[in-house]
Chain A
Amino acid sequence: MSFLIEIIPRLLQGMYITLQLIVFSMPIGLAIGVAVALGRVYGGVVLSSLAWGYQLLFRGTPLLLQLFVIYYGLPHCGLVLSPFASAITAFSLCSGAYHSEYLRGAVLSIQGGQMEAARALGMGKIQAIRSIILPQMLRRALPGCSNEIVYLIKYSSLAYIVTLVDLTGQGRLIAYETFRFFEVFLIVGLIYLGMVTIANRFLHAVEKKVHIPGL
């Protein structure tokens, strides 16, 4: 028990990094997802192909690889990002690709007639998307996107690759020093489980709050 108390400060240090990573990557990832989904459904040939290519790349390759390429590979092209910026970029891009699939499914599930009706009423394409499609799309994709947000919380544990010592990173350091692997990683795992549970509850509450009957 005293062991637990000893390591808590260091774990909290790590958790601070983890939370920062999640807080920034989540909205950016979601925003990318919305843009890509809309690009695929309503964009012209060029835009939707680009969006499709982005999805292919970021859903078909491991996040670990993406992190390496963004952190160690991009500098060869002249783009140097700080560890934090690299991590946020990688997590957002990866997350965004998954969000975009859920959102795309949601858009497609909205009856096509709605877009036509909106246009018939004189709305521009963008206005129609903003006022009619987007609110429905976000609500319908919420379960899938919530799932992806939970994934994000867990795969933030890869941040050690770009020298950020997050919760898992601190856990590793402690475990390698003390050799008490089972205890350390059990505690670390339970902390993630705690974060995931809180996130799930929160997202569930959001789902209920924004629910529109008949949607």
Chain B
Amino acid sequence: MFSRVSMQFAVVLCLVSLLASLSGVAADKPVYVDGIDAAFPPFSYIDESGDPAGFDVEVIQWIAGEMGFDVEIVPVDWDAIIPTLKVGTIDMIASGMTITSERLKQVDFTDPYWAIDLAVVTRNVADDQGESVPQFNIFSAIAAGQTVGVQRGTTSQTWLQENLIDKGVALDLKLYDSFLLVVEDLLIGRVDAAVMDEPTARSAIAGRDAAIVGTINTGEIYGYAVRKGDSTLLALLNEGLKRIKASDEWDRLVEKWLIGS
């Protein structure tokens, strides 16, 4: 009878610890889920091995280590990223996200950590000397009658819509899942120009037959986003940002990912 009781006790113990580990009760550190754009180099992307990489990925991982939490990084369809944050599948967005007044209505942002402008990219063509030169300049690239590609759900889309299309400039705006796909189509020839965040533009056209023909000085600033009212995580991220910016790690990461900025 003793052995049966101890057997039963052992079984119960196993079940409890199994359940506990499944529900994370056994975990000593809080786990936050970070949603990223899977194709937004140099800030966030998924590499060939399927692992997340990029400036924001490394910053968040450093902050997590420093501030004492675990972070799980998952790719999300970009135009659905704020709804996904609200639904609760992810707890933060650390992926080169511009702080805008529209977005501030839906989420809370950390202090800014980087500033960018938008770049206009066109593909190169051969000129009379056989040299490879950009096909348009910044004015003719995004003029009426042109086909311009952007990623859905980005400030590039909003800028073109509000500042050109709504003001009567008849350009054909094409929406893609990812800026990298826009550049693909640019090189294929289905769009005349692409507009995207400048660091991404430089990353996307590296080694390819395209060039940045100008920048749109939108003076955008990036921040990390959390759900409205999630002050705990927001404080953690802000403190973490403060610390990393004060450390050598920041310079190392900027050097590694954002050289030339």
Contacts and interface: CB of A to CB of B under 8 A. Distances in A.
Please determine if A and B sit in direct contact within the complex, based on CB atoms under 8 angstroms apart: yes
A179 B83 contact: yes
Given A72-B181, A163-B174, A179-B106, A83 B80 contact: no
B189 interface: yes
B190 A83 contact: yes
B188 A75 contact: yes
B153 interface: yes
A13 to B, nearest CB: 13
B174 A80 contact: no
B176 A163 contact: yes
Nearest to A181: B83
A82 B188 CA distance: 11
B181 A80 contact: no
B80 A72 contact: no
Contacts of B152: 173
Interface string A167-211: 000001101100101000000000000000000000000000000
Contacts of B175: 160, 163, 165
Contacts of B79: 172, 176
Contacts of A165: 175
Contacts of A175: 83
B189 A80 contact: yes
A176 B80 contact: yes
A175 B106 CA distance: 14
Interface residues of A, number: 15
A179 B106 CA distance: 10
A82 B153 CA distance: 23
A172 B153 CA distance: 11
B83 A176 contact: yes
Contacts of A75: 188
A181 B79 CA distance: 13
A63 to B, nearest CB: 16
A82 B177 CA distance: 17
A35 B113 CA distance: 60
B83 A80 contact: no
Interface string B137-155: 0000000000001001100
A181 B177 CA distance: 19
Interface in B162-176: 174-176
A25 to B, nearest CB: 20
B153 A80 contact: no
B208 to A, nearest CB: 14
Interface string B76-112: 0001101100100000000000000000001000000
Interface string A120-135: 0000000000000000
Contacts of A82: 190
The 10 A-B pairs at the shortest CB distance, nearest first, are namely A75-B188, A163-B174, A176-B79, A80-B188, A72-B184, A163-B175, A163-B176, A176-B153, A80-B189, A176-B80
6 contacts: A80-B190, A82-B190, A163-B149, A163-B174, A176-B153, A181-B83
Given A82-B190, A176-B79, A179-B106, 18 more contacts: A72-B185, A80-B188, A80-B190, A83-B174, A160-B175, A163-B149, A163-B174, A163-B175, A163-B176, A165-B175, A172-B79, A173-B152, A175-B83, A176-B80, A176-B83, A176-B153, A179-B86, A181-B83
